[in-house]
């Protein structure tokens, strides 16, 4: 296990610094092709920016405080900015070569300044859009459910990532939506907490104002934070934690399966074998996976998250490919329904591009 961790960290750092090197080469080529002192200054600035996120992440393991929060937020913004610079300048290089073969005369440095300004605007949009929490209203036809469920409203929350960047303010916005929509039931499908952060009880305390039942399962980031730490905070709230267990809620089985520890794989079959096959069931599982198993055990509705719907373009292409199209939205196959949420918060860069933060409100038909 230790060797796997070392290999993972080494590979991640290699990729991380390689991406920064590519950004340096692109910026140098457009903005400072012949200016050696400017190139050295650019290299130094990018090295410091690259080290900023690593430093901030390590720092959070030993300390807290307003300065650290600000430093971590700045370094996370840089992480997103770096990705945007790489994408935009790579595309810009291709366009520049195409323009070079046309009668249009475009100076390389002018084109580089334009790309730099566009990258800044693009990143700014991502920051703004990440805070645009949407209430998504969805009617849901579930004929297997008891008549008493007709007209009930279910709130589905996922991937809030409360911690060093998202805190009490985001929780209050979510709770406000739940109360405004008069939800009858709330499901939280993991990653309520981030892998780093402090004062978690204060961040989650608004959830105590919810007067209806709230069910919760863990996600992968609770395992990064430390399961004991996450569960001890939740024990101080009204939230009902489901750890590989089944509860009956007004004639419907609610099945909550916790996420496996890092490096482990999980088969949800042993938990599903305990359900009553004749009764409708809602499965809460953080990741939109093991769908064939859920269908085999006559799961009526599965609620998941994890993917953030890519969060930042072009990650959507990879999540769509990896989860075979089940990475976001509503999917109904016969008597089985899956909804994968894009989540309410962000992870890593506090940006969303091509993905919208959401709280989903289902109305049962």
171's tokens: 């929780």
DSSP 311-346: SBTTHHHHHHHHTTT-SSEEEEETTEEEEE---SS-
Tokens of 28: 């140098």
Mean pLDDT value across residues 153-181: 95
Pairing mode, strands 358-364 and 252-256:
unpaired
* 227-241, 258-272, 300-314, 318-332: range with lowest mean pLDDT: 258-272
**Per-residue pLDDT averaged across 42-61, rounded?**
93
Question: What tens digit of pLDDT does each residue of 227-252 get?
Answer: 899 999 999 999 999 999 999 999 99
The pTM of this model reads 0.92
Closest CA to 175 of 219, 217, 133, 137: 133
Output the average pLDDT for the chain. 93
Task: Measure CA 95 to chain center.
Answer: 32
Burial of 155 (0-12, 13-18, 19+ CB in 10 A): buried
> To the nearest whole percent, how much of the chain has pLDDT over 70?
99
Residue 313 has pLDDT above 80, yes or no: yes
Q: Is the pLDDT of residue 292 over 90?
A: yes
Task: Give 265's Cβ-side CA count (13 Å radius).
Answer: 4
Q: Looking at residue 1, what is its pLDDT? A: 56
- Give me the DSSP letters along 247-261: EEETTEEEEE-PPPP
Q: Which of 356, 303, 364 is nearest to 130 (CA)?
A: 356
Distance of CA 344 to CAs 17, 300, 306, 321, Å? Answer: 30, 24, 11, 22
d(CA 159, CA 189): 7
Q: What is the mean pLDDT of residues 154-175?
A: 95
Residue 298 pLDDT level (bands cut at 50, 70, 90): very high
**8 A C-beta contact, residue 89 and residue 119:** yes
Please name the residues in contact with 96: beta carbons below 8 A apart, sequence gap of 6 or more: 106, 108, 111
């Amino acid at each position: 296990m230790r060797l796997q961790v070392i290999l993972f960290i080494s590979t991640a750092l290699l990729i991380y610094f390689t991406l920064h090197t590519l950004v340096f080469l692109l910026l140098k080529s457009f903005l400072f092709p012949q200016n050696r002192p400017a190139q050295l200054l650019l290299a130094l600035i990018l090295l410091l920016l690259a080290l900023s996120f690593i430093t901030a992440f390590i720092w959070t393991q030993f300390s807290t405080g307003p300065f650290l929060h600000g430093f971590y937020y700045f370094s996370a913004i840089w992480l997103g900015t770096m990705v945007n610079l790489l994408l935009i300048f790579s595309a810009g290089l291709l366009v520049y070569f195409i323009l070079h073969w046309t009668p249009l005369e475009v100076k390389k440095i002018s084109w580089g300044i334009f790309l730099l300004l566009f990258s800044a605007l693009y990143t700014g949009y991502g920051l703004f859009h990440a805070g645009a929490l949407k209430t998504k209203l969805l009617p849901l036809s579930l004929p297997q459910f008891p008549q008493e469920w007709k007209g009930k409203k279910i709130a589905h929350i996922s991937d809030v990532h409360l911690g060093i960047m998202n805190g009490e303010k985001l929780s209050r916005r979510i709770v406000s939506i739940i109360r405004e929509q008069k939800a009858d039931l709330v499901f939280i499908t993991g990653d309520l907490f981030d892998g780093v952060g402090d004062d978690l009880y204060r961040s989650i305390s608004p959830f105590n104002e919810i007067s209806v039942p709230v069910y919760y399962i863990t996600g992968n980031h609770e395992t990064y934070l430390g399961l004991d730490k996450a569960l001890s905070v939740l024990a101080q709230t009204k939230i009902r934690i489901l750890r590989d267990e089944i509860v009956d809620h007004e004639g419907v089985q609610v099945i909550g399966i916790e996420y496996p520890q890092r490096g482990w794989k999980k088969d949800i079959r042993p938990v599903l074998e305990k359900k009553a096959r004749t009764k409708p069931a809602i499965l809460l599982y953080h990741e939109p996976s093991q769908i064939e198993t859920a269908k085999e055990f006559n799961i009526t509705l599965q609620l998941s998250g994890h993917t953030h719907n890519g969060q930042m373009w072009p990650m959507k292409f990879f999540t769509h490919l990896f989860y075979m199209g089940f990475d976001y939205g509503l999917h109904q196959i016969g008597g089985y329904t899956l909804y994968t949420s894009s989540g309410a918060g962000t992870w890593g860069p506090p940006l969303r591009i091509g993905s919208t933060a959401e709280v989903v409100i289902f109305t049962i038909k």
